Amino acid sequence: MYNFKMSILKNDQGWVRTVALAPPTLQDNTADADRLTGALKIELKTDAVYISFDLLKKLPDLLRKWNYNISCILFKDLNQWILVNITAAENPGPVSGLAVDLGTSRVVLRLLDLLTGNILAESSFDNPQASIGPDVLARIHYAGSEKGLQELNDLIIDGLNQNIVKLCRSGKLNPEQIYLLSVAGNTAMTHLFMGLKPDWIIREPYIPVVNRPGILKAKELKIKVNHLARVVIFPNIGSYFGGDLIAGILFSGINETDDTAILVDVGTNAEVVLGNKNWLIACAGAAGPALEGGVTRMGMMAGPGVIEKIDIDPATGNYKIETIGNLPPKGICGSGVIDLAAGLFNSGMLDIRGKLVPSACGGRIKEKDGIKQLVVVPAKDSGTGTELTISQADFDSLIRSKAAMYTILETIAASVEMSLQELAAFYVGGTFGSFINPESAITIGMLPDLPLASYKPLGNSSLEGASMVLSSRKRLEEIDKIRDKITYLELNVNQDFMNRFSAAKFLPHTNKSLFPSKMPP
């Protein structure tokens, strides 16, 4: 994985500030709250520091208990700082934050030390809303039913609360010691997380309740952490471009570079951002059924025993297979399918249309219900006891997916009159991005023919972005700037798009000059 340097947490970057207040005297009888905000205003160079009513009630006792030497846990919203809570300046105990990647399928948690920026613990769990429906659409429809929204909201909040308890146990702290949370997810997931009606997200003209939820109280969301904790929810651009992507952009840093780069995130949905420090252009979503049923499904299959890498020796036709956990193979995930297709294509076993060439496959082809099947792993080597096959239909689906992907990339680049070959860097996010072999993806023409070093997998960029705002005030401010900078490109599946799509349905492409490294020498 591409090695991003996490910005080192300095006191003046982070959310915790230690303040030694002059105790009150007859000559200086400023009230407790105003004494504290006065000091913070100077310290933070601001004219607005807000203290919640709940904190105000505890303030006089705490200030006196700690002799006016305190650590302040702060957060920032709109034009004002929020004093979230205070602890003793000496031996404050753990002061932690929780970054949440709120995935449609899987939720990933990371506990961070707010003083050092160190990772204390990580865990993940399946989004419990999957019991209602596997995808966004099903859940939004269910939210429209009687108490449906409440049920969906309860599922994710309860799931989160249970997992926070476990995570804290492994991090050896108490949920009460979590003061700040940061949540990045797609627009629908964040709406369900907040209990906001998602009905209009999926109905024309596709309007979220809110683009910029800002800072909320954990208590309002029923999240069981410190009773004064605050939650930042990443903003979205619209119904189909969510906070997870904003987090990804933040983590990739493409919003800060001189050279134009691209960020592609393929999770449950597919999103693309192109830009540099001056401009960002984005498009997202379902570019036809190909991408929906293809890349998307494959990207979700990774798990123990699943084939993630395949190498085929063109000379011998032998398969070299790597599985997750080095277990006997049980299935094949997206990156494995792409490797397989690339290997087959290089060996002449798949033609330029993506059709299996039985004569070249050395007895691995079977036919079932009139559809060709390639035996990837014979029964004797399989982890399931039965042979693992992949059908022509799967390859057809892959071809549509890769063509859709390439077409989206071409379209967004063309919208700013660039070619994909001009890109300085290509960031690949999501689970897909973590496992994909760029060489294979280039071979089949799914990704453009850039130098391999240009490809930078981001890993869980949503989680990383969410973590960053917990370590740095500048990063939190950055997410609104990113949001405001993005121009959203509506992908019109028009004739131009369909022409590009048709040309991209060959391996690697009808126009071979786009893939010079894959041309015969």
Q: Does 417 bind a copy of itself (CB under 8 A)?
A: no
Among 106, 141, 212, 485, binds a copy of itself (CB under 8 A): 212
Site string for a copy of itself, 30-49 (x = CB under 8 A): xxxxx------------xx-
Among 61, 90, 259, 381, binds a copy of itself (CB under 8 A): 61
Give 418: exposed, middle or buried? Use CB within 10 Å, 0-12, 13-18, 19+: middle
Among 205, 370, 451, 516, binds a copy of itself (CB under 8 A): 205
Residues numbered 451-510 forming contacts with a copy of itself, rule: CB under 8 A: 490
Element (H, E) at 497: helix 495-503
Q: Which is nearer to a copy of itself, 439 or 480 (CB)?
A: 480
Q: Does 60 bind a copy of itself (CB under 8 A)?
A: yes
- Span of 178-186, 234-242, 250-258, 509-517 interacting with a copy of itself by CB under 8 A: 234-242
Residue by residue, DSSP assigns 203-267 as STT---S-S--EEEETTTTT--S-TT-EEEE---SBTTB-HHHHHHHHHHTGGG-SS-EEEEEES
Residue 282's alpha-carbon distances to 136, 227, 261, 360, 395, in angstroms, are 20, 38, 12, 42, 28
Among 208, 294, 299, 433, binds a copy of itself (CB under 8 A): 208
Residue 356's alpha-carbon distances to 263, 312, 338, 345, 405, in angstroms, are 32, 15, 14, 9, 22
Q: Which is nearer to a copy of itself, 150 or 170 (CB)?
A: 150
Q: Does 90 bind a copy of itself (CB under 8 A)?
A: no
Q: Residues near 186 by Cβ (< 8 Å), separated by ≥ 6?
A: 102, 104, 136, 236, 242, 243, 244, 245, 268, 269
Among 105, 123, 161, 211, binds a copy of itself (CB under 8 A): 211
Q: What angle do CA 469, 486, 279 make, to 5 degrees?
A: 100
Among 3, 11, 26, 521, binds a copy of itself (CB under 8 A): 26
- Span of 200-208, 366-374, 429-437, 457-465 interacting with a copy of itself by CB under 8 A: 200-208
Residue 450's alpha-carbon distances to 353, 407, 422, 441, in angstroms, are 23, 16, 9, 11
Locate 147 and state its tokens.
């108490």
Angle, helix 461-471 to helix 473-485, in steps of 10 degrees: 130
Among 130, 210, 286, 503, binds a copy of itself (CB under 8 A): 210
Q: Which is nearer to a copy of itself, 236 or 431 (CB)?
A: 236
Element (H, E) at 407: helix 392-415
Q: Does 19 bind a copy of itself (CB under 8 A)?
A: no
Count of residues of this chain found to bind a copy of itself when the rule CB under 8 A is applied: 48
CB of 244 to a copy of itself, least distance (A): 16
- Span of 197-205, 242-250, 330-338, 452-460 interacting with a copy of itself by CB under 8 A: 197-205
**The CA-based dihedral angle spanning residues 301, 305, 307, 308, taken in that order and rounded to the nearest 10 degrees:** 70
Q: Does 176 bind a copy of itself (CB under 8 A)?
A: no
Q: Does 57 bind a copy of itself (CB under 8 A)?
A: yes
Q: Residues near 53 by Cβ (< 8 Å), separated by ≥ 6?
A: none
- Span of 90-98, 192-200, 246-254, 503-511 interacting with a copy of itself by CB under 8 A: 192-200
Locate 19 and state its tokens.
């303040």
Residues contributing to the site for a copy of itself (CB under 8 A): 24-26, 28-34, 47-48, 50-51, 53, 56-57, 59-61, 77-80, 194-197, 199-200, 204-214, 216-217, 220, 236, 238-239, 490
